[in-house]
């Protein structure tokens, strides 16, 4: 081993200087990227239009390069423009300076309101930036800066790229760049100075001109004239309180005995604070030349009132507190709570009073006692009586989350029939503030899967929203929900219809909770009709006489009378509450008792003809029974059972589990044919002696095929027969017809057991946690918020808000149609609604500040409203007429008033209106003599100095030179672009 190691120790490393170094590889990568982006050669674009930097589209491309193990990002920023003629673009024009050098002198886009900082400082339409890839990385040492700048210079020279290339140095927050642009025989160096403290000699124009001239070092005398553009920015922060019109909500009005102010059923709107925090006035002198004005440390001609151009921008308050957004957000937070109502209220909410001491004798007496007499008058005290007794049993009344006044007021709002002498029907009452039924806004619930805006569910959602925000939070919500459920049971037990719900079966386009309430209303309707029918029947009427009564009554009366269709073999008189709750199907002998139907069971149609017809609704036109020629009567039938979407889903799951086997398919068909069997039995009872063909002619005419044939005598006659599917052996229709007995609808087993379904609904409502309730009602709250935003927007007429509202509706309709929408998507919708509310609040704030309503002349009012709308939608708005225009005078008054408040110690003078103060001070010249300034010191001073001089020698080409300066309270920056001739120096 020792022998082997000896020759290895003699090996020495050879450095090959022909291989590329890290620096050379970096330069090569930069060149490669520039070639890939096709930034080679000189491509002259058309001259820049005024304002194109703000109105045009900026795009960028990025790539990643590295210097050894230090990563950089290289980004190409450029203004998208129409492509010029390709032939001209491909030519290399040697005597033309690069496009970026020409842009240095362009005055059309000084001080753009929204642009990259290099665009603002140098006026460039295209440039490339190399910056450290990671935010925390920085190029700090001077040697590294020079190395990067050398790399840029070599890459530009090798590729012939004429696009300026910048390198970001120092920490990123300082926005320090150095760069270079090369053309044929010319070069521009981009340099920068950034200081925290400003030297006194550079706070005015004369000092900056000295810097500029010394930097140029022009050998010519006299020096060519320097073009100057100046902008001073003034900030107005001290708004008067009366300028903000939004009043804080009056919570006392909620319990003051009247429904006013923030009433239940209406959402609040507006920002609680001024959504406009600052107004920035930029006074600009765009075209000045040296010698025209004086601006030094002693005296200045730059009076903002005399500036030829004024432009204004507003700074919006970040996330202003908005009432509507807070309401919806706080309600949405309930969705994340896990507690049940029992846990929140600290007891078993729905246990009945006295349940602890109840024994079996109470249950037996309950079964034998007569039906309870309905309470003759519905009142708020009746509604909350039971609940209050229960609450007192477990805790003091003063501990209840909702006091009696608030609770009574809410219940009166939800159940307006409680205040009337006579209970109203279940039809919804119209409200002047609700959208008109059938309008686009009214039908919005179809898209949101919420509930109509005049429905009980919708009102309940708004009340819970209000309770959650103002009256006890989650405990208040749980308390109100408990009262609501008790009220539902009270109405079910006493046959009072629920107001604010459309009649008919549950509307599957609405939320599930609304469907459940509609289902409960259906149960109450049927129970009520059944009880009323029992009262109207005389005690001596026998079950068999019902057919006669049906014949004597008209179709409409019969519809009402037979609405509930009765139970099997029992008249309405013989029912009791216990039988409704514990219904059992009777035996065949009891079903057929007293009607001679046993013979029908044993015999055929001939025996059936001797039966007495029952349950006829009306005659079916000219149709007659095929075998005996009797008129065909349409029977009174049972209505199909109403279903909510969760019941439909359960039913479909049960049917799906039966599988695809023949037995499963047969069982599925039998389950689905309960309604068909009921209708067949009703048809047989109404039309004794009928056949399946007669039933099919009425029930499914397409399955009875008629065709003209010639009989034995040669006459053309109609001959009918059942369709092919009806002739299939053992099909469902034939089986059902054979098993169907002639029983009228009122004595059949109910297809819809209202007692059982009502108890299911009440149980469903009772077990809902506040979080579940909030999930059910959130679509209604979002629906209400969108309607509120639309209503407020109509008053302001802001075009951009209309578009956003349409986007919110589209987005919400997609999200809310899913059973369990994601929280993140719901938060996005709420955030969008809050943004719209803030925009409308900003519009109102600006209108109040500029006094658009006080304008007497219609033309001035229109101009001001247009100006305000532009302030909302554009980053910066030009003031027509500058300080002498109508808007300019108002802005001037705002600044004067703010200055007066800060400078004057006299409180009485501070309360005087700005117009009187201006009159008192006299003309601007007089005010200046009195040393009272209309404007505060400028928050920002920006200057651009330009000239064209030969550098570095008198015989060099005359090239553009530019220096930008910005001076703020905590910042001073000089950004210079100095061009020199590299051919003749």
- Residue-wise DSSP of 633-674: EEEP-PPPPP--HHHHHHHHHHHHHT-SSHHHHHHHHHHHTH
State which residues form the domain around 152. Answer: 26-81+96-218+951-981
Rounded distance between C-alpha atoms, residue 210 and residue 952, angstroms? 18
Rounded distance between C-alpha atoms, residue 674 and residue 685, angstroms? 17
Q: How many DSSP H helices and E strands does the chain contain?
A: 37, 17
**Radius of gyration for the alpha carbons in the chain, expressed in angstroms and rounded:** 43
Contact partners, residue 438, CB within 8 Å, separation at least 6: none
Contact partners, residue 322, CB within 8 Å, separation at least 6: 270, 271, 272, 834, 837, 838, 841
Under 8 Å between Cβ of 288 and 281: no
Rounded distance between C-alpha atoms, residue 786 and residue 809, angstroms? 8
Backbone angles phi, psi at 268, to 5 degrees: -75, 170
How many residues would you count in the chain?
Answer: 985
Cα→Cα distances 140→137, 146, 180, 208, 646, Å: 9, 11, 19, 27, 67
pLDDT for position 972:
94
Whether 632 is in a domain gets the answer no
**Placement of tokens 């001077």 in the chain:** 142
Among 536, 543, 495, 498, smallest CA distance to 517 is for 498
Helix (H, G, I), strand (E, B) or coil at 613: coil
Number of domains in the chain: 2
Last residue of a domain, one of 751, 766, 788: 751
What DSSP element (H or E) covers 408? Answer: helix 404-414
What DSSP element (H or E) covers 709? Answer: strand 704-710
8-state DSSP, 435:
P
Residue 843: both structure tokens together:
């519009």
Rounded distance between C-alpha atoms, residue 466 and residue 108, angstroms? 54
Helix (H, G, I), strand (E, B) or coil at 301: coil
What is the CB neighbour count within 10 angstroms for residue 621? 9
Rounded distance between C-alpha atoms, residue 40 and residue 28, angstroms? 15
Rounded distance between C-alpha atoms, residue 255 and residue 366, angstroms? 41
Looking at the DSSP bridge assignments, the partners of residue 227 are 289, 946
Whether 766 is in a domain gets the answer no
CA distance between the termini of the chain: 69
pLDDT for position 93:
52
What's the mean per-residue pLDDT of the chain? Answer: 77
Among 293, 313, 278, 176, smallest CA distance to 230 is for 293
Under 8 Å between Cβ of 566 and 529: no
Rounded distance between C-alpha atoms, residue 679 and residue 692, angstroms? 12
Helix (H, G, I), strand (E, B) or coil at 858: helix
Last residue of a domain, one of 730, 751, 772: 751
Rounded distance between C-alpha atoms, residue 511 and residue 779, angstroms? 8
Among 692, 691, 690, 693, smallest CA distance to 719 is for 693
Looking at the DSSP bridge assignments, the partners of residue 230 are 285, 943
Under 8 Å between Cβ of 833 and 324: yes
CA dihedral 817, 819, 820, 821 (to 10 degrees): -10
Under 8 Å between Cβ of 982 and 187: yes
Rounded distance between C-alpha atoms, residue 123 and residue 79, angstroms? 12
Among 62, 488, 303, 430, smallest CA distance to 934 is for 303
Could you tell me whether strands 958-968 and 940-950 are parallel, antiparallel, or unpaired per DSSP bridges?
A: antiparallel
Rounded distance between C-alpha atoms, residue 752 and residue 564, angstroms? 9
pLDDT for position 537:
55
Whether 102 is in a domain gets the answer yes
Rounded distance between C-alpha atoms, residue 441 and residue 448, angstroms? 11
Among 586, 530, 584, smallest CA distance to 562 is for 530
Residue 627: both structure tokens together:
């075998």
Under 8 Å between Cβ of 278 and 321: no
Among 520, 516, 518, smallest CA distance to 493 is for 520
Under 8 Å between Cβ of 457 and 517: yes
Residue 183: both structure tokens together:
């053309």
Rounded distance between C-alpha atoms, residue 523 and residue 528, angstroms? 8
How many Cα atoms are found within 13 Å in the side-chain-facing hemisphere of 30? 30
Residue 339: both structure tokens together:
């507690």
Under 8 Å between Cβ of 205 and 943: yes
Pinpoint the alpha helices (H) of 431-472.
Answer: 444-448, 456-470
Rounded distance between C-alpha atoms, residue 73 and residue 568, angstroms? 84
Last residue of a domain, one of 721, 751, 781: 751
pLDDT for position 714:
66
Mean pLDDT of successive 10-residue stretches along the chain, which has 985 residues: 52 66 92 92 82 90 91 94 53 72 91 92 94 89 92 93 94 94 93 90 90 85 87 84 52 40 72 87 92 86 91 88 90 86 66 43 48 44 45 48 82 81 44 58 82 90 88 86 91 89 86 90 86 60 38 36 34 34 37 38 46 78 78 81 77 68 65 76 86 83 77 72 77 80 78 84 90 90 91 86 90 85 90 92 87 80 87 89 88 86 55 49 47 80 94 89 93 94 83
């Amino acid at each position: 081993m020792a022998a082997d190691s000896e020759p290895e120790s003699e090996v020495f490393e050879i450095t090959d200087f022909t291989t590329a170094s890290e620096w050379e590889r970096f330069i090569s990568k930069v060149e490669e990227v520039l070639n890939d982006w096709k930034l080679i050669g000189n491509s002259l674009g058309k001259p820049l239009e005024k304002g194109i930097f703000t109105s045009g589209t900026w795009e960028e491309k990025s790539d990643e390069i590295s210097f050894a193990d230090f990563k950089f990002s290289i980004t190409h920023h450029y203004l998208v423009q129409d492509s010029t003629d390709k032939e001209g673009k491909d030519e290399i024009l040697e005597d033309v300076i690069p496009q970026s050098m020409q842009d240095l002198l362009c005055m059309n886009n000084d001080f753009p309101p929204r642009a990259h900082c290099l665009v603002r400082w140098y006026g460039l339409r295209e440039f490339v930036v190399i910056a450290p890839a990671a935010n925390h990385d920085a190029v700090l040492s001077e040697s590294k800066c020079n190395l990067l700048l050398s790399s840029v210079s070599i890459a530009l020279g090798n590729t012939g790229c004429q696009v300026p290339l910048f390198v970001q140095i120092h920490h990123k927050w300082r926005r320090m760049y150095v760069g270079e642009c090369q053309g044929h025989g010319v070069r521009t160096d981009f340099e920068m100075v950034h200081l925290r403290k400003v030297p006194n000699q550079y706070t005015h124009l004369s000092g900056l001109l000295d810097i500029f001239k010394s930097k140029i070092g022009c050998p010519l005398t006299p020096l060519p004239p320097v073009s100057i553009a100046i902008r001073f920015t003034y900030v107005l922060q001290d708004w008067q309180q009366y300028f903000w019109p939004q009043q804080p909500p009056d919570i006392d009005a909620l319990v003051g005995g009247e429904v006013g102010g923030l009433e239940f059923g209406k959402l609040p709107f507006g920002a609680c604070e001024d959504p406009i925090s600052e107004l920035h006035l930029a006074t600009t002198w765009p075209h000045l030349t040296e010698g025209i004005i004086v601006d030094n440390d002693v005296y200045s001609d730059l009076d903002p009132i005399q500036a030829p151009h004024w432009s204004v921008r507003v700074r919006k308050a970040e996330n202003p507190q908005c009432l509507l957004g807070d309401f919806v957000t706080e309600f949405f937070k309930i969705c994340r709570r896990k507690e049940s109502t029992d846990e929140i209220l600290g007891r078993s909410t729905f246990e009945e009073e006295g349940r602890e001491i109840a024994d079996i004798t109470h249950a037996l007496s309950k079964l034998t006692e007569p039906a309870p007499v309905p309470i003759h008058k519905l009142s708020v005290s009746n509604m909350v009586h039971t609940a209050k007794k229960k609450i007192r049993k477990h805790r003091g009344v003063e501990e209840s989350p909702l006091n009696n006044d608030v609770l009574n007021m809410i219940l009166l709002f939800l159940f307006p029939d409680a205040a009337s002498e006579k209970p109203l029907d279940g039809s919804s009452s119209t409200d002047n503030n609700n959208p008109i039924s059938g309008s686009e806004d009214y039908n919005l619930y179809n898209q949101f899967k919420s509930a109509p805006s005049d429905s009980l569910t919708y009102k309940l959602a708004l009340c819970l929203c209000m309770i959650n925000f103002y009256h006890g939070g989650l405990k208040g919500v749980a308390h109100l929900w408990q009262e609501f459920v008790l009220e539902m049971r009270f109405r079910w037990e006493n046959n009072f219809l629920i107001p604010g719900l459309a009649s008919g079966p549950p509307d599957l386009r609405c939320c599930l909770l609304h469907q459940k309430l509609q289902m409960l209303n259906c149960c109450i309707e049927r129970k009520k009709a059944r009880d009323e029918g029992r009262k109207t029947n005389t005690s001596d009427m026998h079950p068999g006489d019902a057919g006669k009564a049906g014949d004597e009554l008209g179709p409409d009366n019969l519809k009402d009378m037979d609405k509930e269709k009765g139970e099997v073999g029992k008249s309405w008189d013989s029912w009791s509450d216990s039988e409704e709750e514990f219904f059992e199907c009777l035996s065949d002998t009891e079903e057929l008792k007293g009607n001679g139907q046993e013979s029908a069971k044993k015999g055929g149609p001939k025996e059936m003809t001797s039966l007495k017809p029952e349950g006829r609704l009306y005659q079916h036109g000219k149709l007659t029974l095929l075998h005996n020629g009797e008129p065909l009567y349409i029977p009174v039938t049972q209505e199909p059972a109403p279903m909510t979407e969760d019941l439909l889903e359960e039913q479909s799951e049960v049917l799906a589990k039966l599988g695809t086997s023949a037995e499963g398919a047969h069982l599925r068909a039998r389950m689905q044919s309960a309604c068909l069997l009921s209708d067949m039995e009703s048809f047989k009872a109404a039309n004794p002696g009928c056949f399946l063909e007669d039933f099919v002619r009425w029930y499914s005419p397409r399955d009875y095929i008629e065709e003209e044939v010639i009989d034995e005598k040669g006459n053309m006659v109609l001959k009918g027969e059942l369709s092919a599917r009806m002739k299939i052996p053992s099909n469902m229709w034939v089986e059902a017809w054979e098993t169907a007995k002639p029983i009228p609808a009122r004595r059949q087993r109910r297809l819809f057991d209202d007692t059982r379904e009502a108890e299911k609904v009440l149980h469903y409502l009772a077990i809902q946690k506040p979080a579940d309730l909030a999930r059910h009602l959130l679509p209604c709250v979002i629906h209400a918020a969108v309607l509120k935003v639309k209503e407020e927007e109509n008053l302001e007429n802001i075009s951009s808000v209309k578009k956003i509202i349409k986007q919110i509706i589209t987005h919400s309709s997609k999200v809310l149609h899913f059973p369990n929408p994601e929280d993140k998507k719901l938060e996005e919708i709420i955030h969008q609604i809050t943004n719209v509310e803030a925009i409308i609040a900003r519009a109102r704030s600006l209108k109040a500040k500029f006094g658009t309503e006080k304008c007497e002349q219609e033309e001035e009012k229109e101009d001001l409203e247009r100006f305000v709308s532009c302030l909302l939608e554009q980053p910066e708005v030009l003031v027509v007429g500058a300080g002498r225009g109508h808007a300019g005078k108002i802005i001037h008054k705002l600044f004067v008033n703010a200055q007066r408040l800060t400078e004057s110690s006299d409180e009485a003078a501070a309360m005087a209106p700005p117009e009187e103060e201006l009159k008192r001070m006299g003309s601007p010249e007089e005010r200046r003599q009195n040393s009272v300034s209309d404007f505060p010191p400028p928050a920002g001073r920006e200057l651009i100095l330009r000239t064209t001089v030969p550098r570095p020698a008198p015989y060099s080409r005359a090239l553009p030179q530019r220096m930008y300066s910005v001076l703020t309270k905590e910042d001073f920056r000089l950004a210079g672009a100095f061009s020199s001739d590299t051919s003749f120096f």
